[in-house]
Amino acid sequence: MQYKALALTAVLAFADTAASAEADDGRMIRVPLSKRSDQEMILGHLKRERDFLASERSREEPDSPFAVFATDRDEEVNDSPFAAAARRRLRGDVVVDGNANGRARDGKDENVIIKYYANAQYYGTVHVGFPPQEFTAIWDTGSADLWVPRKGCSNCGYCNPITQHTSVCKDKYDAVSSRTYREYGADFEIMYGSGSVSGIFSRDTVTLAQDIKVKHQRFAEVEDAKGLGLAYVMGKFDGILGLGFEAISIGKSTVFGSAIDQGLVKDPVFAFYLGDNGDGELTLGGYDETKFEGDDLHYVDLQSATYWQIELDGVDVGDGYSTGKTNGIVDSGTSLLVGPTAEVAKIAEQVGAKANFMGEYTIDCDKVDAMPDVTFRIDGKNYSVPGKDVVLKASSICLFAFMGMDIPAPGPQWILGDIFMRKYYTVFDQGNERIGFAPVA
């Protein structure tokens, strides 16, 4: 079985920003993005510490009132949500039709509305079927499949009169209600860090934004989401829409790839602009020249058309830390900067950051103004992130936005998450298998 790791951060209050997809005459879609505040990120950090202590207490005291949560929380507590969010869905064991190799049987340019969740995932509306059934999905460059919960799904949220209009009550796909549904029949199973999610593959029309209608798209109807635990139940999304390449798709078919094949987008390109303490934008079918400085993007070829992985000339932190050649992926679904555990420990020591018992780093807020820049050397160019922007601050608590994690080969050594993407407009050119960068405007 292939293995992909995913953990979702605990849910906190988040106010949605109203927005609508807007199409250019050239059929390029722009999708507004909403960002979770640093204040909420810090609250999440504190909640994880509290949950960890409660879990430890429940192990020592079986009659503790916290014990009821121990089973669901153990995997999530022992594997930091930051680490798991960064590691999630890096290719692993998958079963499709019982075939271990993961193979199943048998232009516009527009913006899509997507919201920011937990400072780690972007989520937005996608429609499946006809008449369209609406779902909230994470738009994620670190995976390649679309899945949503199906009607009757087990462990897929809790619906009652109080929760029916909240994210706790998940929207569920009803094949009987869709005129365009077609049975596919292959089994779907994916193993996450906390357990498995399973279901079946089906085919139906998938609509992106308002009118990019991808016909006969293969997607997964999830029957049991227990493996995602409480974090999924409380999360602000129903499913996941992957923006990676077909080579890492369990079902060997991606929504954006199908949109390209069916001539529904102007160019085989999408681009992210992540607002800094404000809204952002995802563009499908092209990119928005008003979102970056200068006249040109700097394009870098991918090492392979799997993940959005590129070669790095090196990573520098001030004058005291530097690597040689390495590699990394650019991932819209990871909130922090991620690197090998030993290397991140060296960086943390240099800047004076301290690791807690969950592996998350904090730093004295008085040191933030003196933080050195973090520079990623890519194809002969330096892409620097100011030190103060590698810290998430709220009140008297400052989180150092690095996470240590050792990803087995052939996975990447580094993950350039949202901390990086907020500083550099990022164009994902699927047609030419490359990524373009430019400083945000």
pLDDT tens digits, 357-399: 777 899 999 999 999 999 999 999 999 999 999 998 877 889 9
Q: How far is CA 239 from CA 2, 121, 123, 331, in A?
A: 20, 12, 9, 18
Is the model's pLDDT at 337 over the cut of 80? yes
How many domains does the structure of the chain reveal? 2
* R_g of the chain computed on alpha carbons: 21
Q: Are 302 and 286 in contact (CB under 8 A)?
A: no
Residue 111's nearest CA partner among 20, 11, 240 is 20
Q: What are phi and psi of 332, to 5 degrees?
A: -70, -15
- Boundary residue ending a domain (240, 273, 306): 273
In which residue are the tokens 């730093």 written?
363
For the annotated catalytic residues, the residue numbers are 140, 331
Asked whether residue 391 falls in the same domain as residue 269, the answer is no
Which of 68-82, 103-117, 215-229, 301-315 shows the lowest mean pLDDT across its residues? 68-82
Asked whether residue 210 falls in the same domain as residue 296, the answer is no
Is the model's pLDDT at 350 over the cut of 90? yes
Q: Is 185 helix (H, G, I), strand (E, B) or coil?
A: strand
Is the model's pLDDT at 6 over the cut of 80? no
Domain at 135, CATH number:
2.40.70.10
Per-residue pLDDT at 437: 98
Is the model's pLDDT at 206 over the cut of 50? yes
Strands 354-355 and 361-362: antiparallel
Per-residue pLDDT at 132: 97
Q: How far is CA 301 from CA 128, 181, 295, 431, 437, in A?
A: 33, 38, 20, 11, 12
284 occurs within a structural domain: no
Asked whether residue 204 falls in the same domain as residue 344, the answer is no
Q: Quick one: the chain helix, strand, coil %, rounded to 5?
A: 20, 40, 40
Q: How confident is the model at residue 424 (pLDDT cuts 50, 70, 90)?
A: very high
Which residues form the domain of 217? 22-273
Asked whether residue 298 falls in the same domain as residue 241, the answer is no
Q: Between these two residues, 47 and 339, which has the higher pLDDT value?
A: 339
Asked whether residue 330 falls in the same domain as residue 190, the answer is no
| Residue-averaged pLDDT of the chain | 78
Which of 141-150, 156-165, 374-383 shows the lowest mean pLDDT across its residues? 156-165
Is the model's pLDDT at 52 over the cut of 80? no
Q: How confident is the model at residue 140 (pLDDT cuts 50, 70, 90)?
A: confident
DSSP string, 80-142: -HHHHHHHBTSS-BEEETTBTT-PPP----EEE-EEEETTTEEEEEEEETTTTEEEEEEEETT
The DSSP output letter for 9 is P
Q: Between these two residues, 270 and 44, which has the higher pLDDT value?
A: 270
Q: What are phi and psi of 47, to 5 degrees?
A: -65, -40
Asked whether residue 348 falls in the same domain as residue 430, the answer is yes
Region 127-152: what's the mean pLDDT? 93
Q: What are phi and psi of 326, to 5 degrees?
A: -155, -160
Asked whether residue 390 falls in the same domain as residue 253, the answer is no
Q: Which residues contact 102 (CB under 8 A, 6 or more apart)?
A: 2, 94, 95, 96, 250, 252
14 occurs within a structural domain: no
Which of 48-52, 159-163, 332-336, 360-364 shows the lowest mean pLDDT across its residues? 48-52
Asked whether residue 79 falls in the same domain as residue 121, the answer is yes
311 occurs within a structural domain: yes
Residue 380's nearest CA partner among 303, 312, 292 is 312
DSSP string, 35-56: ---HHHHHHHHHHHHHHHHHHH
